[in-house]
Structure formats: C-alpha cells, structure tokens
C-alpha cells in the first residue's frame, strides 16, 4: 500500500515511463499520432517523448505547453483549431505527435488527415499499471485525469 505522496509520485513516474516505452514501439515509423483521451498525464508523456528523442515534432492545443517540462516547452507547437492544424499537418514528415483537446477532436483530426493514427492512452495505462503496481487494476477516467483503483484502494496513477 502507498502511504505517502512521495511513493505515489514515484509510482506515477514509473507508470509514465512504462507507457512511454510502449508508445515508442508505435512511434518507430513516420506518421501523425494523436494522443487521446484528455488527462492521461499527456504533459508528462510528451515531456518524456521529447527528452528521449522519440518524436520529431509535437503539436498541442493552446496552453498545453505549460503542462510539459520547461526544458522541452519550446518544442511544443500550439494550435487553436483542428482545421488550422489539419492544414499544417498535411505535408509533415517524420514522427509527429498531436495532443488534441478532446477525443472528439482527435477523431475529427484523424478523419480530416486520413492517414493519422489515434492512440487511446487508457489501455496503455491499464497495462502498465498492472506491471508497476503489481495488482488487479481497473483504470477509470475521472474529471481530474487518470486514477487507479488497486484492490479497492484509491491511488493516483
């Protein structure tokens, strides 16, 4: 059982690290990859992906840059509207990650681009949490982001 905030933070970092490692196997080819759904520690994920050099570019909704590490903040290109972004992404090369404001926006962007891939993060977190927390885990998407329910005890993931 986690008894203090520090342990929860360490587990969150380990959990995010495992998710990033799994994502890297999908990001090993050129393309546009849209991270869905809201929450899911996307700021931490993008920070780790940029630090590891796993992506060539990141596009994210307005003000998302404040959620990533200061050392990579300048590498996050913010956009206002999906239509505006779709025009920019039509000719990109390399491994591009997009952080859409909502899952609906992620699907709309994929449909506009035709060649983009939506990556549904809750499944990655569930798989990683089972390994990190070594227990029965069911992840639920709450208004504040991802939370883990582990053997009946509520833990931040």
Q: Which two tokens stand for residue 13?
A: 């970092």
Domain ranges, residue 139: 5-156
CATH number for the domain spanning 137: value is: 3.90.190
What is the domain count for the chain? 1
Residue 51 Cα distances to 17, 48, 94, angstroms: 12, 5, 16
CB neighbours (10 Å) of residue 42?
23
pLDDT 10s per residue in the chain (157 long)?
444 444 444 467 888 899 999 999 999 999 999 999 877 789 999 999 999 999 999 999 999 999 999 999 999 999 999 988 998 897 778 999 999 999 999 999 999 998 899 999 988 888 887 777 666 555 544 333 444 433 332 333 3
Pairwise CA distance, residues 32 & 117, whole Å: 6
Measured CA angle at 43 (ends 125, 93), to 5 deg: 95
Strand order in the sheet with 57-61: 76-79, 57-61, 95-99, 31-36, 117-120
CA 117 – CA 145 distance, rounded (Å): 22
Quote the pTM value.
0.78
């Amino acid at each position: 059982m986690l008894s203090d905030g520090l342990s929860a933070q360490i587990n969150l970092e380990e959990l995010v690290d495992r998710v990033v490692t799994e994502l890297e196997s999908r990001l090993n080819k050129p393309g546009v990859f849209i991270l869905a759904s809201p929450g899911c520690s996307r700021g931490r994920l993008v920070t780790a992906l940029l630090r590891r050099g796993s992506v060539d570019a990141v596009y994210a909704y307005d003000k998302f840059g404040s959620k990533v590490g200061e050392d990579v903040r300048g590498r996050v290109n913010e956009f206002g509207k999906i239509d505006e972004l779709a025009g920019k992404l039509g000719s990109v090369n390399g491994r591009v990650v997009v952080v859409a404001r909502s899952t609906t926006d992620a699907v709309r962007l994929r449909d506009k681009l035709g060649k983009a891939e939506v990556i549904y993060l809750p499944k990655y977190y569930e798989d990683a949490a089972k390994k990190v927390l070594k227990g029965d885990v069911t992840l639920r998407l709450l208004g504040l982001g991802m939370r883990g329910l582990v053997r009946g005890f509520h833990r931040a993931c």
